């Protein structure tokens, strides 16, 4: 245990390097263009001053190459301080926290209640209002399905938006199959809902409004406090998917009149496989559980809790509350540097609001190239073209469609996720790499030739095959 305990004593730069060396994905590449760029990458890595890039781009027999990590919306690396807290629960403290007749159960139950308070303190809640789950997807399902089903005799209508996470939209469609009415609010070109449209959509039988705080693809921050006031005034329950917001922007469930909130541990440098749902006690929120059994977690989510995961989650909440100011300044500075470097290129645009947004999520469209081609060309940088939960689909982002982007622009968009352990040197490298490879891919495009010649592409009549 001593070597792990020492991790938390090292300076922030050393923690950054440790986490950087442990981050990995390996996008496959097969196109000849990608092969050409791959050779350029190797040349770049051998230039002086690229030591940190060499460390990031290590060869691993199991996972291939290990690129720079800029996909913080998909997941964040577990903070070493979190791991240190978790390890003892895999060896000595192995008791079932629901075994209330002996010390093995008492000691793990005590630690879980400590973690429950750490989660509650982060969002201004009472610990009794925190229900542990497997993550935000389960929490979202509990809220969207559980509340309407409980009140289904008198309330048959819910309201959400078109840019919600896929698990919210799928849960809403399941309710429609059960006979509920669902209103999907549109967003403007900045990705924000219209509060007047929300008020007009409210009916006498509206039971729940669900609007996410920070969008997982474009980082737009919705006016949560104003939405909460509208819901409270109309005596409607308000749920918010805060997986991308908790620990990154200030959240106070009482000030914002939030009745239910979904949280995920692995978005805030905690372990995967654990999360929570906040369920308000006064005024009381009632719901049908979607998992039944032993009656754990106030009967709302049965099943044996995992002490290692929950204590890691609690520690991650404690750390991110303590470090929030530092993290915000660090991420905002790197975000500005990245945006300045990318948006200085011609025919690029930031997707979503410039003012109402979380700085760590930067979604940029690069016109006249395919986003998938650019991802293939950037095998030394771990990026995404949208939500990790829908990355298997080749369809253009429904979130960008909702903002009014056409298929071509939606297909040319890349999401950059900046986190606690991202460094200046990495951002400098990414800006340089993006500039070079966008230019390279555009030169391969006949559309780019027409644009440079001043031809209006909208004036061309394309023939079918």
Residue 249 has pLDDT above 80, yes or no: yes
Q: Flag the least confident range among 45-54, 172-181, 269-278, 303-312.
A: 45-54
Residues 213 and 115 in one domain: yes
Q: Flag the least confident range among 32-46, 144-158, 191-205.
A: 32-46
* Nearest-angstrom CA–CA distance, 275 and 122: 13
356: three-class secondary structure by DSSP:
coil
Task: State the average pLDDT over residues 408-430.
Answer: 94
Q: Number of C-alpha atoms within 13 angstroms, CB side, residue 406?
A: 4
Residues 329 and 191 in one domain: no
* Nearest-angstrom CA–CA distance, 163 and 387: 11
Residues 223 and 332 in one domain: no
Query: Does the annotation count 231 as an active-site position?
Result: no
The CATH number assigned to the domain holding 254 equals: 3.40.640.10
Q: Active-site residue among 3, 231, 361, 389?
A: 389
Predicted local distance difference test score (pLDDT) of residue 13 = 47
| Confidence at 8, pLDDT banded by 50, 70, 90 | very low
**Number of structural domains, the chain?**
2
Tell whether 463 is covered by a domain. no
Question: Which of 75, 67, 76, 163 lies closest to 375, judged by CA?
Answer: 67
Q: State the angle between helix axes of 307-343 and 424-443 in degrees (0 to 180), rounded to the nearest 10.
A: 60
Predicted local distance difference test score (pLDDT) of residue 48 = 42
Tell whether 454 is covered by a domain. no
Residue 62 has pLDDT above 80, yes or no: no
452: three-class secondary structure by DSSP:
helix
- Looking at residue 388, the DSSP 8-state letter turns out to be G
Tell whether 109 is covered by a domain. yes
| Confidence at 57, pLDDT banded by 50, 70, 90 | very low
* 370 vs 319, residue with greater confidence: 319
The domain boundary, picked from 262, 284, 318, lies at: 318
The domain boundary, picked from 264, 298, 318, lies at: 318
Q: Is 49 left (phi over 0), alpha (psi -120 to 50) or beta?
A: left
Residues 307 and 398 in one domain: no
* Nearest-angstrom CA–CA distance, 403 and 191: 6
Tell whether 40 is covered by a domain. yes
Task: State the average pLDDT over residues 361-384.
Answer: 90
Question: Which of 166, 160, 93 lies closest to 388, judged by CA?
Answer: 166
Cα-based distances in Å from 376 to 31, 303, 371: 8, 42, 9
Residues 166 and 238 in one domain: yes
Predicted local distance difference test score (pLDDT) of residue 211 = 98
Tell whether 464 is covered by a domain. no
Contacts of 11 (CB under 8 A, 6+ apart): none
* Nearest-angstrom CA–CA distance, 19 and 3: 16
* Nearest-angstrom CA–CA distance, 134 and 19: 24
The domain boundary, picked from 283, 301, 318, lies at: 318
Tell whether 461 is covered by a domain. no
Residues 314 and 332 in one domain: no
Residue 18 has pLDDT above 90, yes or no: no
Residues 87 and 197 in one domain: yes
> Tokens representing 109?
């139950």
Task: State the average pLDDT over residues 107-115.
Answer: 97
> Tokens representing 441?
């891919």
> Tokens representing 146?
């559980």
Residues 274 and 341 in one domain: no
With vertex at residue 364, the alpha carbon angle to CA 362 and CA 370, rounded to the nearest 5 degrees, is 135
Residues 120 and 32 in one domain: no
| Confidence at 454, pLDDT banded by 50, 70, 90 | confident
Instruction: Kindly report the pTM of this predicted structure.
Output: 0.86
Tell whether 460 is covered by a domain. no
Domain with 105, as residue range(s), is: 80-318
* Nearest-angstrom CA–CA distance, 11 and 81: 12
* Nearest-angstrom CA–CA distance, 354 and 220: 8
């Amino acid at each position: 245990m001593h070597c792990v305990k020492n991790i938390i004593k090292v300076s922030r730069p050393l923690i950054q390097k440790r986490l950087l060396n442990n981050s990995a994905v390996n996008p496959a590449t097969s196109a000849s263009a990608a092969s050409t760029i791959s050779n350029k990458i190797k040349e770049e890595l051998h230039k002086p001053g690229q030591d940190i890039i060499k460390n990031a781009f290590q060869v691993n027999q199991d996972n291939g190459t290990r690129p720079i990590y800029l996909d913080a919306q998909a997941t964040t690396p577990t903070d070493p301080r979190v791991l240190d807290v978790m390890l003892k629960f895999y060896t000595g403290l192995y008791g079932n926290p629901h075994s209330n007749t002996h010390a093995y159960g008492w000691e793990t139950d005590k630690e879980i209640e400590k973690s429950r308070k750490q989660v509650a303190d982060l969002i201004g809640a009472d610990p009794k209002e925190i229900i542990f789950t497997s993550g935000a997807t389960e929490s979202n399902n509990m809220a969207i399905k559980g509340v309407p089903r409980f009140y289904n005799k008198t309330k048959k209508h819910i309201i959400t938006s078109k840019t919600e996470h896929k698990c919210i939209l799928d849960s809403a469609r399941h309710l429609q199959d059960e006979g509920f009415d669902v209103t999907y609010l549109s967003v403007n070109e900045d990705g924000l809902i219209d509060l007047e449209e929300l008020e007009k959509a409210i009916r006498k039988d509206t039971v729940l409004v669900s609007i996410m705080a920070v969008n997982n693809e474009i980082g737009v921050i919705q006016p949560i406090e104003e939405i909460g006031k509208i819901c409270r005034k109309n005596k409607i329950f308000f749920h918010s998917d805060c997986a991308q917001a908790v620990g990154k922007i200030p959240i106070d469930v009482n000030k914002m009149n939030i009745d239910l909130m979904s949280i995920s541990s692995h978005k805030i440098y905690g372990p995967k496989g654990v999360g929570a749902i906040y369920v308000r006690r006064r005024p009381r929120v009632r719901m049908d559980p979607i998992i039944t059994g032993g009656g754990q977690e106030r009967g709302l989510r049965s099943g044996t809790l995992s002490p290692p995961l929950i204590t890691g989650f609690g520690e991650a909440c404690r750390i991110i509350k303590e470090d929030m100011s530092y993290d915000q300044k660090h991420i905002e500075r790197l975000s500005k540097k990245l945006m300045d470097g990318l948006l200085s290129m011609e025919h690029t645009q930031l997707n979503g609001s410039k003012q109402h947004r979380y700085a760590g999520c930067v979604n940029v469209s690069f016109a006249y190239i395919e986003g998938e081609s650019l991802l293939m060309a950037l095998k030394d940088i771990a990026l995404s073209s949208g939500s990790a939960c829908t990355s298997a689909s080749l369809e253009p982002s429904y979130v960008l469609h909702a903002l009014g982007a056409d298929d071509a622009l939606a297909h040319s968009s890349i999401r950059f996720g900046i986190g606690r352990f991202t460094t200046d040197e990495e951002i400098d490298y990414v800006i340089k790499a993006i500039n070079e490879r966008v230019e390279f891919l555009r030169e391969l495009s006949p559309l780019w030739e027409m644009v440079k010649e001043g031809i209006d592409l909208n004036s061309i009549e394309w023939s079918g095959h």
